[in-house]
Amino acid sequence: MPDVLPPNLPLAIPPRAPLLDVHGLKKAFGGMIAIQNVDLRIAEGSVHAIIGPNGAGKTTAFNCITAFVQPTAGTIYLGGERIDGLPAHVVARHGVARTYQNVRLFPNMTALENVLVGQHRRLHATFWEAILGSGRFRREEAEARARAHHYLAFVGIPQRAGDLARHMPYGDQRRLEIARALVAGPRILMLDEPAAGMNPAEGRALVELIERIRTELGVTVVLIEHHMRVVMAVAERITVFNRGAILTEGTPGEIQADERVIEAYLGRRSGQIAAPAASPEPQRQMEARIA
């Protein structure tokens, strides 16, 4: 038996099964088609970014997947189970968690209370058990508090547990939102512009956090993001939206070298871009456009 494979023998490495499989997604608001023909395959255990100019339909796709709005057409499967058409709380129970473009916390609740709210799908005690303070209720409550503290520490804000959400710095509020999403025990975490409003140091810390969510918690991450440095540092694959449809999909290197992407961001013909595709210039232009 030869101890090396003969050259040109195709390696039978099976592609990772998609955890999230979206096909032919369409959403119309009255006569306005926000997205159409959107196909997305998100590999289990990956970090996948969605980028594109303002109004390209990225958040609408997120909203359809999380059942925040119902799609006009298309199918959505999570782990082989069809989830389109289900109400949002049932989709969440299947393991889809998200954050929003604009922070949506309970401003007059503490960070700990905000995370406790995110755990309701894990709790089993009945209303009467809660009223009567049963053993199961007290045990579940203690476990819920411990889990909430654990996720506040995981996202790097353990010292904020007792602070009102509205008194927290913006970057910490975004981390708190992620803690609240994680405490539900999702299979897939969908982050809508998590780096918005962050400075470069906070952006780097976010990249580290997303990487730990994937490796330590085994949660698949999909993020919509305009900060190209964050996208290029964290994403294994990138899908580019433009005008309600998918323009292209690829690795960070492929996307950076794709002149159609630069064109979509800059709104000019690719021939007018002087810099060679492999240079960092297109990325800087994208960032300049986005800033």
Ligand X SMILES: Nc1ncnc2c1ncn2[C@@H]1O[C@H](COP(=O)(O)OP(=O)(O)OP(=O)(O)O)[C@@H](O)[C@H]1O
Q: Which residues bind ligand X (CB under 6 A)?
A: 29, 32, 34, 52, 54-60, 101, 241
Task: With H, G, I as helix, E, B as strand and everything else as coil, classify residue 264.
Answer: helix
Q: Give the residue with the Cβ less far from ligand X, 34 or 207.
A: 34
Minimum CB–partner distance for residue 147 and ligand X (Å): 32
Question: Phi first, then psi: what are they for 225, rounded to 5°?
Answer: -155, 140
Minimum CB–partner distance for residue 62 and ligand X (Å): 8
Q: Give the residue with the Cβ less far from ligand X, 134 or 285.
A: 285
Minimum CB–partner distance for residue 29 and ligand X (Å): 3
CB 135 within 8 A of CB 80: no
Minimum CB–partner distance for residue 52 and ligand X (Å): 6
> What is the distance between the terminal CA atoms of the chain, rounded to a whole angstrom?
59
CB 114 within 8 A of CB 204: no
Q: Give the residue with the Cβ less far from ligand X, 38 or 97.
A: 38
**Which of 24, 41, 33, 37 is CA-nearest to residue 75?**
24
Q: What residues have CB less than 8 Å from 222, skipping those under 6 apart?
A: 20, 42, 47, 48, 49, 50, 62, 188, 189, 190, 191
Q: Give the residue with the Cβ less far from ligand X, 203 or 244.
A: 244
Q: Give the residue with the Cβ less far from ligand X, 52 or 95.
A: 52
Minimum CB–partner distance for residue 54 and ligand X (Å): 3
**Which of 131, 235, 219, 226 is CA-nearest to residue 183?**
219
